[in-house]
Amino acid sequence: MSAHDSPDIRRHVERLTADGIDVVRVIYPDLIGTDRARDVLVDHLPSACAHGLAFCRAVYHTTPQGDVVPVAGGLDAGLPDVCVRPDLSTLSALPWEPGVATCLGEVTDPATSGPAAESPRDLLRAVLDRCAAQGLRPVVGPELEYFLLEPAPGTSAGWRRAPEVTGAVYTAGLRADPGNHLLRTLRLLRDLGLGVITGNHEFDGGQYEINLTHSEALDAADRAFRFKAAVKELARKEGNLATFMAKPFGDAGGSGFHLHLSCQDEEGDNAFDDPAGAHGLSAAARHAVAGILAHAPALAALANPTVNSYKRFGPDTLAPWLIDWGLDNRSAMVRVPPERGSGARLELRLGDASANPYLLIAGTLAAALLGIQAGEEPPVPLEGYGYDTARSAVLPMDLSAALDALEADAPLAELLGKDFTTSYLTYKRNEVERFQRHVTDWEFTEYAYHL
Protein backbone atom coordinates (compact mmCIF):
# COMPACT_ATOMS: atom_id res chain seq x y z
CA MET A 1 0.00 0.00 0.00
CA SER A 2 1.45 3.43 -0.89
CA ALA A 3 1.40 6.20 1.67
CA HIS A 4 -1.27 7.81 -0.57
CA ASP A 5 -3.69 5.07 0.45
CA SER A 6 -2.83 5.05 4.14
CA PRO A 7 -6.09 4.47 6.06
CA ASP A 8 -5.09 7.17 8.50
CA ILE A 9 -4.82 9.84 5.78
CA ARG A 10 -8.00 8.58 4.10
CA ARG A 11 -9.83 8.92 7.42
CA HIS A 12 -8.61 12.50 7.77
CA VAL A 13 -9.71 13.36 4.23
CA GLU A 14 -13.15 11.83 4.82
CA ARG A 15 -13.60 13.73 8.08
CA LEU A 16 -12.46 17.03 6.56
CA THR A 17 -14.80 16.58 3.61
CA ALA A 18 -17.70 15.69 5.92
CA ASP A 19 -16.95 18.88 7.89
CA GLY A 20 -17.16 20.94 4.70
CA ILE A 21 -13.41 21.64 4.60
CA ASP A 22 -11.77 21.69 1.20
CA VAL A 23 -8.45 23.42 1.95
CA VAL A 24 -5.74 22.71 4.53
CA ARG A 25 -3.28 25.50 5.28
CA VAL A 26 0.04 23.86 6.18
CA ILE A 27 2.20 26.25 8.21
CA TYR A 28 5.73 25.89 9.52
CA PRO A 29 8.17 28.24 11.22
CA ASP A 30 11.24 29.45 9.38
CA LEU A 31 14.46 30.38 11.12
CA ILE A 32 13.10 33.67 12.47
CA GLY A 33 9.67 32.26 13.34
CA THR A 34 7.74 33.67 10.38
CA ASP A 35 4.84 31.40 9.51
CA ARG A 36 5.54 30.09 6.01
CA ALA A 37 2.59 28.27 4.52
CA ARG A 38 0.90 26.67 1.57
CA ASP A 39 -2.82 26.18 1.03
CA VAL A 40 -3.43 22.60 -0.06
CA LEU A 41 -6.68 21.42 -1.62
CA VAL A 42 -7.94 18.46 0.38
CA ASP A 43 -7.88 16.28 -2.78
CA HIS A 44 -4.12 16.81 -2.90
CA LEU A 45 -3.56 16.11 0.81
CA PRO A 46 -2.71 12.39 0.45
CA SER A 47 -0.03 13.22 -2.12
CA ALA A 48 1.30 16.10 0.04
CA CYS A 49 1.58 13.70 2.98
CA ALA A 50 3.31 11.05 0.90
CA HIS A 51 5.80 13.27 -0.92
CA GLY A 52 5.88 16.47 1.09
CA LEU A 53 5.38 20.00 -0.24
CA ALA A 54 8.45 21.42 -1.92
CA PHE A 55 9.65 24.84 -0.78
CA CYS A 56 12.78 26.65 -1.90
CA ARG A 57 15.36 26.25 0.85
CA ALA A 58 16.37 29.89 0.69
CA VAL A 59 12.90 30.85 1.91
CA TYR A 60 14.40 30.38 5.35
CA HIS A 61 16.92 33.03 4.55
CA THR A 62 14.83 35.51 2.61
CA THR A 63 14.50 38.78 4.48
CA PRO A 64 11.25 40.76 4.63
CA GLN A 65 12.89 43.17 2.17
CA GLY A 66 13.29 40.30 -0.27
CA ASP A 67 17.06 39.84 0.03
CA VAL A 68 18.25 36.25 0.00
CA VAL A 69 20.90 35.77 2.66
CA PRO A 70 23.61 33.35 1.60
CA VAL A 71 23.55 30.54 4.14
CA ALA A 72 25.13 27.11 3.73
CA GLY A 73 22.74 24.76 1.92
CA GLY A 74 20.64 27.61 0.46
CA LEU A 75 21.88 30.06 -2.14
CA ASP A 76 25.33 28.51 -2.40
CA ALA A 77 23.76 25.14 -3.19
CA GLY A 78 21.57 26.56 -6.00
CA LEU A 79 18.41 27.05 -3.94
CA PRO A 80 17.45 23.39 -3.54
CA ASP A 81 14.17 22.10 -2.08
CA VAL A 82 13.17 21.48 1.47
CA CYS A 83 10.18 19.23 1.89
CA VAL A 84 7.32 20.09 4.23
CA ARG A 85 5.09 17.23 5.35
CA PRO A 86 1.69 18.02 6.87
CA ASP A 87 1.49 16.83 10.48
CA LEU A 88 -2.17 15.77 10.54
CA SER A 89 -2.11 15.20 14.29
CA THR A 90 -2.16 19.03 14.61
CA LEU A 91 -5.18 19.64 12.31
CA SER A 92 -7.84 22.10 13.43
CA ALA A 93 -10.51 24.09 11.62
CA LEU A 94 -9.78 27.82 11.19
CA PRO A 95 -12.71 29.34 13.08
CA TRP A 96 -12.74 32.55 11.03
CA GLU A 97 -12.28 31.04 7.57
CA PRO A 98 -15.10 28.63 6.66
CA GLY A 99 -13.94 25.62 4.65
CA VAL A 100 -10.31 25.92 5.78
CA ALA A 101 -8.40 23.85 8.33
CA THR A 102 -4.78 24.34 9.36
CA CYS A 103 -1.96 22.10 10.53
CA LEU A 104 1.76 22.30 11.20
CA GLY A 105 4.33 21.08 8.68
CA GLU A 106 7.47 19.08 9.42
CA VAL A 107 10.48 20.48 7.56
CA THR A 108 12.68 17.76 6.08
CA ASP A 109 15.80 17.76 3.95
CA PRO A 110 15.20 15.63 0.84
CA ALA A 111 18.91 14.81 0.68
CA THR A 112 18.78 12.98 4.01
CA SER A 113 15.02 12.48 4.51
CA GLY A 114 15.73 13.68 8.05
CA PRO A 115 14.86 17.04 9.62
CA ALA A 116 16.32 20.10 7.86
CA ALA A 117 19.27 21.41 9.87
CA GLU A 118 17.66 24.79 10.48
CA SER A 119 14.17 23.56 11.39
CA PRO A 120 13.31 25.31 14.68
CA ARG A 121 10.91 22.57 15.75
CA ASP A 122 13.61 19.95 15.37
CA LEU A 123 16.12 22.08 17.19
CA LEU A 124 13.73 22.19 20.15
CA ARG A 125 13.18 18.43 19.89
CA ALA A 126 16.95 17.86 20.04
CA VAL A 127 17.23 19.98 23.21
CA LEU A 128 14.25 18.11 24.72
CA ASP A 129 16.02 14.81 24.03
CA ARG A 130 18.97 16.10 26.05
CA CYS A 131 16.60 17.06 28.89
CA ALA A 132 14.96 13.61 28.73
CA ALA A 133 18.39 11.98 29.04
CA GLN A 134 18.67 13.87 32.34
CA GLY A 135 15.24 12.55 33.43
CA LEU A 136 13.54 15.95 32.93
CA ARG A 137 10.38 16.81 31.03
CA PRO A 138 10.10 20.60 30.72
CA VAL A 139 6.73 22.29 31.08
CA VAL A 140 6.28 25.77 29.60
CA GLY A 141 3.60 28.44 29.86
CA PRO A 142 3.96 31.34 27.36
CA GLU A 143 2.70 34.91 27.88
CA LEU A 144 2.77 37.22 24.89
CA GLU A 145 2.19 40.93 24.43
CA TYR A 146 1.49 42.72 21.17
CA PHE A 147 0.22 46.01 19.78
CA LEU A 148 -2.92 46.35 17.70
CA LEU A 149 -2.55 49.12 15.11
CA GLU A 150 -5.13 50.70 12.86
CA PRO A 151 -4.53 52.43 9.54
CA ALA A 152 -3.45 56.06 9.85
CA PRO A 153 -3.43 57.41 6.31
CA GLY A 154 -1.19 60.38 5.81
CA THR A 155 1.22 59.56 8.65
CA SER A 156 4.75 58.38 7.92
CA ALA A 157 4.25 55.05 9.70
CA GLY A 158 0.83 54.50 8.14
CA TRP A 159 -0.42 52.87 11.39
CA ARG A 160 -1.32 54.09 14.83
CA ARG A 161 -2.07 52.44 18.17
CA ALA A 162 -5.69 51.33 18.44
CA PRO A 163 -7.01 52.97 20.49
CA GLU A 164 -4.72 55.52 22.12
CA VAL A 165 -5.56 55.21 25.83
CA THR A 166 -3.44 55.54 28.94
CA GLY A 167 -3.74 54.06 32.41
CA ALA A 168 -5.55 50.99 31.11
CA VAL A 169 -3.07 48.34 32.20
CA TYR A 170 -4.72 45.22 33.64
CA THR A 171 -8.16 46.21 32.42
CA ALA A 172 -10.57 44.51 30.06
CA GLY A 173 -13.68 45.88 28.40
CA LEU A 174 -14.85 48.66 26.17
CA ARG A 175 -13.16 51.62 27.89
CA ALA A 176 -9.70 50.46 26.84
CA ASP A 177 -10.83 48.34 23.91
CA PRO A 178 -13.89 49.96 22.29
CA GLY A 179 -13.73 47.57 19.32
CA ASN A 180 -13.87 44.53 21.63
CA HIS A 181 -10.74 43.18 19.94
CA LEU A 182 -9.61 41.19 22.95
CA LEU A 183 -12.87 39.37 23.59
CA ARG A 184 -13.28 38.40 19.94
CA THR A 185 -9.66 37.28 19.64
CA LEU A 186 -9.70 35.23 22.87
CA ARG A 187 -12.77 33.30 21.75
CA LEU A 188 -11.47 32.59 18.25
CA LEU A 189 -8.08 31.47 19.58
CA ARG A 190 -9.85 29.17 22.04
CA ASP A 191 -11.87 27.69 19.17
CA LEU A 192 -8.63 27.14 17.26
CA GLY A 193 -7.46 25.00 20.19
CA LEU A 194 -4.51 27.14 21.29
CA GLY A 195 -5.08 26.80 25.03
CA VAL A 196 -5.42 30.53 25.66
CA ILE A 197 -6.61 31.21 29.19
CA THR A 198 -6.72 34.94 29.96
CA GLY A 199 -6.22 38.30 28.29
CA ASN A 200 -6.01 41.93 29.33
CA HIS A 201 -5.11 45.37 28.08
CA GLU A 202 -1.48 46.24 28.80
CA PHE A 203 0.34 49.45 29.76
CA ASP A 204 0.14 51.25 26.44
CA GLY A 205 -2.63 52.19 24.01
CA GLY A 206 -3.57 49.25 21.80
CA GLN A 207 -1.25 46.89 23.69
CA TYR A 208 -2.67 43.53 24.80
CA GLU A 209 -1.41 40.48 26.65
CA ILE A 210 -2.78 36.98 26.23
CA ASN A 211 -1.67 34.08 28.39
CA LEU A 212 -1.49 30.49 27.20
CA THR A 213 -1.84 27.53 29.51
CA HIS A 214 1.28 25.52 30.40
CA SER A 215 2.04 22.24 28.70
CA GLU A 216 4.90 20.05 27.52
CA ALA A 217 7.53 22.30 25.87
CA LEU A 218 7.08 21.32 22.19
CA ASP A 219 3.31 21.68 22.44
CA ALA A 220 3.73 25.06 24.18
CA ALA A 221 6.09 26.25 21.41
CA ASP A 222 3.67 25.02 18.72
CA ARG A 223 0.81 26.90 20.37
CA ALA A 224 2.84 30.10 20.83
CA PHE A 225 3.91 29.97 17.16
CA ARG A 226 0.35 29.39 15.96
CA PHE A 227 -0.89 32.06 18.35
CA LYS A 228 1.30 34.76 16.80
CA ALA A 229 0.26 33.77 13.28
CA ALA A 230 -3.42 33.66 14.23
CA VAL A 231 -3.44 37.04 16.02
CA LYS A 232 -1.77 38.69 13.01
CA GLU A 233 -4.20 37.02 10.64
CA LEU A 234 -7.25 38.03 12.68
CA ALA A 235 -6.10 41.64 12.85
CA ARG A 236 -5.60 41.74 9.07
CA LYS A 237 -9.07 40.31 8.56
CA GLU A 238 -10.36 43.46 10.26
CA GLY A 239 -8.05 45.77 8.32
CA ASN A 240 -5.69 46.23 11.28
CA LEU A 241 -2.11 45.20 11.99
CA ALA A 242 -1.07 43.19 15.04
CA THR A 243 2.64 43.48 15.66
CA PHE A 244 4.88 41.41 17.92
CA MET A 245 7.78 43.74 17.22
CA ALA A 246 9.73 44.27 20.47
CA LYS A 247 9.46 48.08 20.68
CA PRO A 248 7.36 49.57 17.91
CA PHE A 249 7.13 53.06 19.50
CA GLY A 250 9.78 55.14 21.20
CA ASP A 251 7.18 56.72 23.51
CA ALA A 252 5.57 53.45 24.71
CA GLY A 253 6.75 50.27 26.44
CA GLY A 254 7.82 47.20 24.52
CA SER A 255 6.13 43.83 24.15
CA GLY A 256 7.43 40.91 26.18
CA PHE A 257 7.33 37.15 25.65
CA HIS A 258 7.59 35.84 29.20
CA LEU A 259 8.07 32.11 29.74
CA HIS A 260 6.93 30.17 32.78
CA LEU A 261 9.12 27.13 33.19
CA SER A 262 9.07 24.02 35.37
CA CYS A 263 10.11 20.41 34.87
CA GLN A 264 8.45 17.11 35.61
CA ASP A 265 10.63 14.31 36.92
CA GLU A 266 10.27 10.69 35.83
CA GLU A 267 7.42 10.16 38.35
CA GLY A 268 5.51 13.13 36.89
CA ASP A 269 6.15 15.31 39.97
CA ASN A 270 7.26 18.93 39.75
CA ALA A 271 11.05 18.66 39.89
CA PHE A 272 11.36 22.39 40.75
CA ASP A 273 9.51 22.10 44.07
CA ASP A 274 11.20 21.21 47.35
CA PRO A 275 9.74 22.48 50.64
CA ALA A 276 13.08 21.73 52.32
CA GLY A 277 15.22 23.47 49.66
CA ALA A 278 16.43 27.09 49.77
CA HIS A 279 13.42 29.37 48.98
CA GLY A 280 11.25 26.24 48.70
CA LEU A 281 12.95 25.39 45.42
CA SER A 282 14.70 22.17 44.48
CA ALA A 283 18.39 22.04 43.65
CA ALA A 284 17.37 21.50 39.98
CA ALA A 285 15.34 24.74 40.00
CA ARG A 286 18.18 26.73 41.57
CA HIS A 287 20.73 25.25 39.16
CA ALA A 288 18.38 26.07 36.27
CA VAL A 289 18.27 29.72 37.44
CA ALA A 290 22.07 29.75 37.65
CA GLY A 291 22.35 28.30 34.14
CA ILE A 292 19.93 30.82 32.65
CA LEU A 293 21.81 33.72 34.27
CA ALA A 294 25.22 32.35 33.26
CA HIS A 295 24.17 31.96 29.63
CA ALA A 296 21.90 35.04 29.46
CA PRO A 297 24.22 37.07 27.16
CA ALA A 298 24.12 34.30 24.54
CA LEU A 299 20.46 33.55 25.18
CA ALA A 300 19.65 37.18 24.37
CA ALA A 301 20.59 36.45 20.74
CA LEU A 302 17.54 34.15 20.59
CA ALA A 303 15.25 35.84 23.13
CA ASN A 304 15.87 39.34 21.75
CA PRO A 305 16.54 38.59 18.12
CA THR A 306 16.26 41.92 16.29
CA VAL A 307 18.15 45.19 16.22
CA ASN A 308 14.96 46.73 17.65
CA SER A 309 14.79 44.28 20.60
CA TYR A 310 17.41 46.12 22.66
CA LYS A 311 15.33 49.32 22.73
CA ARG A 312 12.79 47.50 24.94
CA PHE A 313 15.20 47.29 27.87
CA GLY A 314 15.66 50.01 30.43
CA PRO A 315 14.83 51.09 34.00
CA ASP A 316 11.13 50.90 34.94
CA THR A 317 10.18 48.99 31.80
CA LEU A 318 9.61 45.67 33.61
CA ALA A 319 11.76 44.36 30.74
CA PRO A 320 14.97 43.27 32.44
CA TRP A 321 18.36 44.03 31.05
CA LEU A 322 20.23 43.27 34.26
CA ILE A 323 21.22 39.65 34.74
CA ASP A 324 19.59 38.78 38.05
CA TRP A 325 16.81 36.78 39.68
CA GLY A 326 14.32 37.50 42.45
CA LEU A 327 11.47 36.03 44.47
CA ASP A 328 8.18 37.38 43.09
CA ASN A 329 10.10 40.35 41.72
CA ARG A 330 9.03 41.68 38.32
CA SER A 331 12.09 43.85 37.98
CA ALA A 332 14.31 40.74 37.84
CA MET A 333 15.22 38.82 34.69
CA VAL A 334 14.20 35.52 36.29
CA ARG A 335 11.22 35.92 38.60
CA VAL A 336 10.20 33.06 40.87
CA PRO A 337 6.41 33.36 41.27
CA PRO A 338 5.15 32.77 44.82
CA GLU A 339 3.41 29.41 44.18
CA ARG A 340 5.10 26.24 45.36
CA GLY A 341 4.08 22.59 45.20
CA SER A 342 2.79 21.65 41.76
CA GLY A 343 2.87 25.37 40.80
CA ALA A 344 6.58 25.92 41.61
CA ARG A 345 8.18 27.50 38.53
CA LEU A 346 10.46 30.16 37.13
CA GLU A 347 9.35 33.06 34.96
CA LEU A 348 11.93 34.23 32.45
CA ARG A 349 11.08 37.84 31.57
CA LEU A 350 13.98 38.34 29.17
CA GLY A 351 12.31 37.44 25.87
CA ASP A 352 10.46 39.92 23.70
CA ALA A 353 7.48 39.14 21.55
CA SER A 354 9.50 39.09 18.32
CA ALA A 355 11.35 35.92 19.41
CA ASN A 356 10.80 32.71 17.48
CA PRO A 357 8.99 30.64 20.17
CA TYR A 358 10.92 27.47 19.30
CA LEU A 359 14.30 29.19 19.61
CA LEU A 360 13.41 31.09 22.76
CA ILE A 361 12.21 27.90 24.46
CA ALA A 362 15.08 25.74 23.12
CA GLY A 363 17.68 28.32 24.20
CA THR A 364 16.14 28.74 27.66
CA LEU A 365 15.97 24.99 28.24
CA ALA A 366 19.52 24.53 26.97
CA ALA A 367 20.80 27.19 29.39
CA ALA A 368 18.78 25.68 32.27
CA LEU A 369 20.06 22.20 31.45
CA LEU A 370 23.68 23.40 31.39
CA GLY A 371 23.11 24.90 34.85
CA ILE A 372 21.60 21.66 36.13
CA GLN A 373 24.51 19.64 34.69
CA ALA A 374 27.07 22.03 36.21
CA GLY A 375 25.28 22.02 39.59
CA GLU A 376 25.84 25.78 39.94
CA GLU A 377 24.07 27.79 42.68
CA PRO A 378 22.64 31.18 41.67
CA PRO A 379 23.79 34.39 43.39
CA VAL A 380 21.81 35.94 46.25
CA PRO A 381 18.36 36.92 44.86
CA LEU A 382 17.60 40.54 44.10
CA GLU A 383 15.67 42.30 46.89
CA GLY A 384 13.30 45.17 46.12
CA TYR A 385 12.89 47.10 42.92
CA GLY A 386 16.18 46.59 41.19
CA TYR A 387 17.72 48.45 38.30
CA ASP A 388 21.16 48.86 39.83
CA THR A 389 23.98 48.35 37.36
CA ALA A 390 26.47 48.42 40.23
CA ARG A 391 24.91 45.23 41.59
CA SER A 392 24.11 43.08 38.57
CA ALA A 393 25.83 42.27 35.30
CA VAL A 394 24.27 43.82 32.20
CA LEU A 395 23.10 42.08 29.03
CA PRO A 396 24.71 42.78 25.66
CA MET A 397 23.12 46.06 24.66
CA ASP A 398 22.75 45.38 20.95
CA LEU A 399 22.11 42.46 18.65
CA SER A 400 25.64 42.37 17.34
CA ALA A 401 27.08 41.93 20.86
CA ALA A 402 24.49 39.25 21.65
CA LEU A 403 25.41 37.32 18.49
CA ASP A 404 29.08 37.51 19.49
CA ALA A 405 28.10 36.19 22.93
CA LEU A 406 26.21 33.28 21.32
CA GLU A 407 29.20 32.42 19.17
CA ALA A 408 31.53 32.62 22.18
CA ASP A 409 29.29 30.42 24.37
CA ALA A 410 30.63 27.05 23.23
CA PRO A 411 28.50 24.81 25.52
CA LEU A 412 25.26 26.54 24.53
CA ALA A 413 26.16 26.63 20.82
CA GLU A 414 27.06 22.93 21.01
CA LEU A 415 23.70 22.07 22.57
CA LEU A 416 21.87 24.02 19.86
CA GLY A 417 23.93 22.40 17.11
CA LYS A 418 26.66 23.77 14.86
CA ASP A 419 24.53 23.89 11.69
CA PHE A 420 21.81 25.87 13.39
CA THR A 421 24.22 28.28 15.09
CA THR A 422 26.09 28.93 11.83
CA SER A 423 22.87 29.59 9.86
CA TYR A 424 21.45 31.78 12.60
CA LEU A 425 24.60 33.87 13.04
CA THR A 426 24.92 34.39 9.29
CA TYR A 427 21.29 35.44 8.91
CA LYS A 428 21.33 37.77 11.90
CA ARG A 429 24.73 39.34 11.15
CA ASN A 430 23.41 40.17 7.71
CA GLU A 431 20.45 41.90 9.43
CA VAL A 432 22.81 43.93 11.63
CA GLU A 433 24.86 44.92 8.57
CA ARG A 434 21.77 46.05 6.64
CA PHE A 435 20.64 48.08 9.66
CA GLN A 436 24.02 49.72 10.04
CA ARG A 437 24.03 50.74 6.38
CA HIS A 438 20.51 52.21 6.56
CA VAL A 439 20.22 56.00 6.93
CA THR A 440 17.32 56.75 9.27
CA ASP A 441 14.91 59.69 9.38
CA TRP A 442 16.39 60.56 12.77
CA GLU A 443 19.87 60.96 11.29
CA PHE A 444 18.55 63.11 8.48
CA THR A 445 16.65 65.39 10.85
CA GLU A 446 19.52 65.57 13.34
CA TYR A 447 22.29 66.29 10.85
CA ALA A 448 21.09 67.42 7.47
CA TYR A 449 20.19 70.99 8.37
CA HIS A 450 22.80 71.78 11.02
CA LEU A 451 25.96 70.18 9.69
Ligand X SMILES: NC(=O)CC[C@H](N)C(=O)O
260: contact with ligand X by CB under 6 A: no
Among 206, 256, 297, 381, binds ligand X (CB under 6 A): 256
Select the span of 74-82, 157-165, 281-289, 312-320 touching ligand X (CB under 6 A): 312-320
Residue nearest to ligand X (CB): 256
Among 253, 357, 363, 417, binds ligand X (CB under 6 A): 253
Select the span of 47-55, 107-115, 251-259, 421-429 touching ligand X (CB under 6 A): 251-259
386: contact with ligand X by CB under 6 A: no
Select the span of 42-50, 247-255, 288-296, 370-378 touching ligand X (CB under 6 A): 247-255
Among 37, 59, 318, 425, binds ligand X (CB under 6 A): 318
254: contact with ligand X by CB under 6 A: yes
| Least gap, CB of 400 to ligand X (angstroms) | 21
50: contact with ligand X by CB under 6 A: no
Q: Quick check: 57 and 74 in contact, CB under 8 A?
A: yes
User: How many positions of this chain bind ligand X (CB under 6 A)?
Assistant: 11
**Contact string (CB under 6 A) for ligand X, positions 188-207, x = contact:** --------------x-----
Question: Which residue, 33 or 74, is less far from ligand X as judged by CB?
Answer: 33
Select the span of 74-82, 250-258, 274-282, 379-387 touching ligand X (CB under 6 A): 250-258
| Least gap, CB of 203 to ligand X (angstroms) | 6
Select the span of 100-108, 248-256, 367-375, 426-434 touching ligand X (CB under 6 A): 248-256
| Least gap, CB of 241 to ligand X (angstroms) | 19
Select the span of 17-25, 175-183, 186-194, 254-262 touching ligand X (CB under 6 A): 254-262
Q: Quick check: 81 and 73 in contact, CB under 8 A?
A: no
| Least gap, CB of 16 to ligand X (angstroms) | 40
Question: Which residue, 82 or 346, is less far from ligand X as judged by CB?
Answer: 346
312: contact with ligand X by CB under 6 A: yes
Question: Which residue, 121 or 311, is less far from ligand X as judged by CB?
Answer: 311
Report the interface residues with ligand X, using CB under 6 A: 145, 202, 253-256, 312, 318-319, 330, 349
